[in-house]
Structure 1
């Protein structure tokens, strides 16, 4: 009881000292707490719980002694830029860019923090409009650089030519010529010129826009705080590598960059080189200037990596599709058109045709880590080799090393061909299949003929067990059946190959961004465990060496919808609160004023009536005007003298300003105006003792009437009622209406809830 009273008193004191606290009510407090809970759930809890649900130990099924390699596959981040939503107005487009970046950065940081993967590989479409932004022209080379490039055979001298004959496209040795002969070097300057797409729609953007998007990508995925959120793990520069003249020719700065090492834990490998159609274009739309820019900043698109005792082959299918893609009128690219586009598809095709030896070299280097005696490190030959000639490997690479093979996994941005309406499985969000279609700078799948070529060529590097792709933004799980030419152990010595029908599983990974048309973005977790012997064969019972798991990310659009619903509910609740406070309930400030203001003692200002009540109490005479009260009082004090009316008024004023009791403290006059006389003119005692009048005076009033005005206002004026006549023309304060009270209470409630909630939401966004 005392505690409740003390709390109530303290609250009243606080409200009186800080008037804005009077607006805090149960409704505003509940709404504020509700908003804090919902915002923390929408900006923290669902992200953390979603990543924790994908923990490796919750779905892996390896033996207890297994030590698998953990890989994360990320597809189609496609950073939002002016190309993504061209018709969206400025504020909304900027907010979309900001929120998509924060969404991906938050998830990527939690992946590295909670899942702690060993490697991260991107499957293309890193930027959304990378193919549309103009490139800077290459700066002129110095004479020393030109001489060095001429000595390497890159420019000048005997330049090779490409010609088409009955046997297909082949390389010649003469320059110039006519007919179908195409001078490759003479085209080089033209190929480096950037051509705007969509009739110059994006011509006002240039290399600066691309550089801005690349910097955003670095902040989200390359920053050390993103890759290594743990404080004990930090990246530091290990050594510097100078730029080569070829990179300078393609527009690179003639400076150095740094390779980084990691202290405090294992180094996390991240590969972002695989290009997508939004990065470099597709097929005949690929521009060499754009392609070179992407390779310069993200790495070569065609590469071989040994990850978790598996051979990962990354293939630039957007460029390779220039040799065979769907044409608008139907069919695939004709031969003459393929000849013109050979500068686009030749590098990836050359990579496919020569996979066997570089793959064997990479496998041998990986096996050297486990069996250094069986796979010694090859030394450097003291001879001059052409770096572009891969047909004659160094003699130190033995035939035994080339025999070693690991399971092969193909990485491609564009999915391989499948029949129309092929079911993608229950995890496909939109429809049930990937549509086989094409359009401006895109094609949903690789053509059938090119898919067969890719599968057969990749199988030469080892057994193709899995394919991972992107581009579709949705999850798709299909199984292909290919008639693969399985090469025997002596194939590199001229042995024969046999046809083998093999099933290959392909998974199309979901987009990592919530702005790419899917409500639930995601990424793929890949667990690799393949213990091998010195020859690269799997040790122990043959098991599937790869396991995958789809991890779904929060539905950001649903979160925004929940926020919008809560906004509507809050506004309705605050409106009801405003109506109640403005119409039905007393004002909180008035209640606090009444509770804190003590009652004032007001003494009687009027004499009692002659015929008072029998119980000794009488009602004082109250007039509405000061002038009437003054005249009535003066009349009651002097019934016989009319000449001293002004004196009566003055005595009334004097009596009110004096002490309540007379000077003698014993007697009070009853019939005359003078208080200094004791007897009447007749000599008789006419005054009564004060005790004899007990009970005839009114009780002391403990309230201050609001409608009584001070009697002094009418004292001292020549004309009675002068103050009253002036008061009639005074402007009285206007009492606010009910609608204004309701609006004021509603706005106050919005501020009381919105300000703390806004600060909390801003803190959540700023801190991840």
Structure 2
């Protein structure tokens, strides 16, 4: 007869060393049986004792938390995605089949707020205003790149709000209260602008769309808040702006259209008293206008040669150049016979128009005055028009003389885009015969919600003008090469108002709930108290459960074949487990006999594996800190019933329920909101 040791291994028998895989499998199985499954079963029993159910889960408080999460996600994410998605190009472009238009975006007056915007505002209102306006600009601009992916982005001035006020090394602020803000402050504002717009330029990628030469961002056009206006422009401030953003006077050929940018805030000094005294302000723009037509022609020649695969410039003639001619010598230019591309004028300050010229139905702040029944729209509407006036460091429109000079010197202007007004305005200037039918000017809305408009916006432009080798439109109509779309952005103030309305509804519902609970109309689930972990009696225990427990023990520790003289606990009945004495916890046999493992006869009386008593130390029996606690799976568990929570009635119960439920909703909603804001 084969004998076995206390672990069930045959004595004297030869056996191969067990591999790592079976050992790992046995260890994992034991861990599941005696660690994971009891823990899960215990949690399940606790939930059963707490009457856990779907009804308990979907309480009013939990429902309000869920509603707040949905509304906050909508206000911080959904409204931005929906607004930009509604402006998708294919939803409004109307070109011939097979067209591949160039897509362009005009951004006006981001006007980053700073100490100049709201002087005297206390902390923390100003920092919060900075945070939320920058966050709004970053969110909308990033979605332009990811959802619309424009080929070109033009900024139309007023990049900063107080840029003209910050001193340089050679200039000081015109206002005494701003002289403490120097050049370093302006550099910090430049970095702030870059973090919002330059940094997120590539959020959608950097590669050109198929059929397009590349992507481009141009932000060199200055506004009156960047430089000042007319005689208020300081050359040092303008030089600093040009050094970081580029010259405000420039010409770009894009998609067979010529874009002419004019530093109109500096040019306006020409129309004021004693212009000779400030010639250094207006002279650069004036000289640029004098050469605008010739420069346009040269750039068109270069563009057409590049499209044909030729060099932009003809070959340099081999001749001797005298030293005195070097200062005036120029590169040779092509003398090709070309047709002028449609010209688009860009200026921060809108062109002159007669007082009362209406801006059209898309103007938000002052919509058109309703005409009499059966009459066409009013031709003179002061309410809907841009006011023709000016003040300190600003002028709503350019002077009549400067506007006429620009139209004549640039020539063939079909469209003009401007900023400054913060609201949308569309006007056809029929007084200027440029391009035959007048100049259609669109004043672009501000992109910032802090500039007096509830619905900020940008203007999308689609350009399609296929030409022959001489620049003539293949369609035969150069007046139909541009399509525009006003893209409105979310109402941030309206979002905040909706948050406030929801908070009011939440407060009222929770107060009503607390009142109904206090008067006893609505009952709440009783507080759950823990009973003793080790039961003193278990009459309902079935023999099947006992045998299942026995089998789990046999799976892990095989039964020894030799009986032992002692057991670890005594039991008068199978289902009655009594507390052991100190003597009963000590080993009754020597370790070399079996470490006190129960015999086969004793296993019928003991239904739990001894591994649950691991870590027991009899010396702690009389310790006050450990009274009423036992070690189960290495963790200290209380065997005492917790004290029932103090019962509240009347006003105390009302205040407790109102306060605790409101706190739960606020904390859960606030954590979610902070995460949404932190993630941008």
Q: Please confirm whether the aligned pair reaches a TM-score higher than 0.5, indicating the same fold.
A: yes
Counterpart pick for 2:466 among 506, 509, 531? 531
Aligned to 1:753: 665
1:56 aligned partner: 89
Distance 2:486 2:409 in 1: 29
CA distance in 2, matches of 1:389, 1:119: 36
Residue 527 and residue 380 in structure 1: after superposition, are their counterparts in 2 closer, same or farther (change >3 A)?
farther
Tell whether the 8 Å contact from 2:314 to 2:334 is kept in structure 1 after alignment: no
1:507 corresponds in structure 2 to 442
Aligned partners of 1:744 and 1:438: how far apart in 2? 60
Residue 364 (structure 2) aligns with: 429
Q: Is the 8 A contact 2:298 2:334 kept in 1?
A: no
**Structure 2 matches for 1:185-204, cutoff 5 A?**
193-198=170-175, 200-204=176-180
Distance 1:112 1:474 in 2: 23
CA distance in 1, matches of 2:142, 2:471: 35
Whether the 8 Å CA contact 1:134–1:203 is kept in 2: the answer is yes
Matches within 5 A, 1:299-698: 299-324=246-271, 333-334=272-273, 337-373=274-310, 377-379=314-316, 383=321, 393-394=330-331, 396-400=332-336, 403-431=338-366, 432-459=384-411, 463-484=412-433, 502-542=437-477, 544-584=480-520, 588=524, 590=526, 592-593=528-529
CA distance in 2, matches of 1:61, 1:756: 47
Distance 1:366 1:387, change over 3 A: farther
Aligned to 1:280: 227
Aligned CA-pair RMSD:
3.5
How far did 1:202 drift?
Answer: 1.1
Structure 1 residue 590 displacement after superposition: 3.8
Q: Deviations over 1:54-100 (max 9, x none)?
A: 11111111101211110000000001111111133221211111111
- Alignment of 1:206 onto 2:182: yes
1:456 positional shift: 0.6
- Unaligned 5+ segments in structure 1 are 1-8, 138-192, 236-260, 325-332, 487-499, 602-732
Q: 1:115 to 1:84 in 2, by over 3 A?
A: same
Residues 184-241 of structure 1 show CA distances to partners (whole Å, capped at 9, x for unaligned) of xxxxxxxxx313223x121222222212211111011101xx12224xx469xxxxxx
Deviations 1:715-739 (A, max 9, x none): xxxxxxxxxxxxxxxxxx9975633
Task: Name the structure 2 match of 1:683.
Answer: none
Shift in CA distance, 515/446, structure 1 to aligned 2, threshold 3 Å: same
Local SS of the residue matching 1:369: helix
| Structure 1: distance between partners of 2:167 and 2:325 | 31
1:551, CA displacement in angstroms? 0.4
Contact 1:526 1:547 in 2 (8 A): yes
Change (3 A) 1:349 1:406: same
Measured in 1, the distance between the counterparts of 2:55 and 2:290 equals 80
Do the aligned partners of residues 577 and 734 (structure 1) sit closer, same or farther apart at CA in structure 2, a change above 3 Å counting?
closer
What secondary structure, in the 3-state scheme, does the structure 2 residue paired with 1:537 have? coil
After superposition, the Cα gap between the structure-2 partners of 1:557 and 1:389, relative to the gap in structure 1 and judged at 3 Å, is: farther
Shift of residue 583 of structure 1? Answer: 3.8
- Deviation string 1:474-511 (CA, Å, 9 cap, x unpaired) is 00000102455x8xxxxxxxxxxxxx864110000000
Q: Which segment is superposed worse, 202-211 or 123-132?
A: 202-211
Deviates more, 1:416-425 or 1:87-96: 87-96
1:218 aligns with 2:194: yes
How far apart, CA to CA, are the structure 1 residues paired with 2:405 and 2:330? 25
Quote how far apart the aligned CAs of 1:586 are. Answer: 8.0
Q: Which has the greater radius of gyration? A: 1
Q: For residue 660 of structure 1, what is the aligned residue in structure 2?
A: none
- Deviation at 1:306? 0.5
Corresponding residue for residue 249 of structure 1:
none
Give me the whole-angstrom Cα distance separating, in 2, the residues matched to 1:439 and 1:18: 73
- 3-state SS, counterpart of residue 84 of structure 1: coil
CA contact (8 A) 2:516 2:522 kept: no
Secondary structure, in 3 states, of the residue corresponding to 1:73?
strand
Q: For 2:465, what is the secondary structure of its paired residue?
A: coil
State whether residues 378 and 397 of structure 1, in contact with CA within 8 Å, keep that contact through their aligned partners in structure 2: no
Query: Which residue of 1 is the match for residue 119 of structure 2?
Result: 86
Aligned equivalents of 1:551 and 1:734: distance in 2?
59
Tell me the CA shift for residue 528 of structure 1.
0.6
Structure 2 stretches lacking a partner, 5+ long? 1-41, 367-383, 538-644
TM-score (norm 2): 0.69
Query: In the comparison of the two structures, how many residue pairs are matched?
Result: 512
Shift of 1:386: 9.9
Judging changes above 3 Å, is the alpha-carbon distance between structure 1 residues 69 and 213 closer, same or farther for their aligned structure 2 residues? same
Aligned residue in 1 for 2:201: 227
Decide whether aligned partners of structure 1 residues 589 and 22 sit closer, same or farther in structure 2, where only a CA change above 3 A counts: farther
Q: What are the superposed Cα offsets for residues 377-435 of structure 1, whole Å, 9 maximum, x if unpaired? A: 55498858999978x643x213336x542111100000000011110000001121101
Match of 2:377 in 1: none
Give distance in 2, aligned partners of 1:32 and 1:596.
35
Cα distance in 1, alignment partners of residues 323 and 455 from structure 2: 52
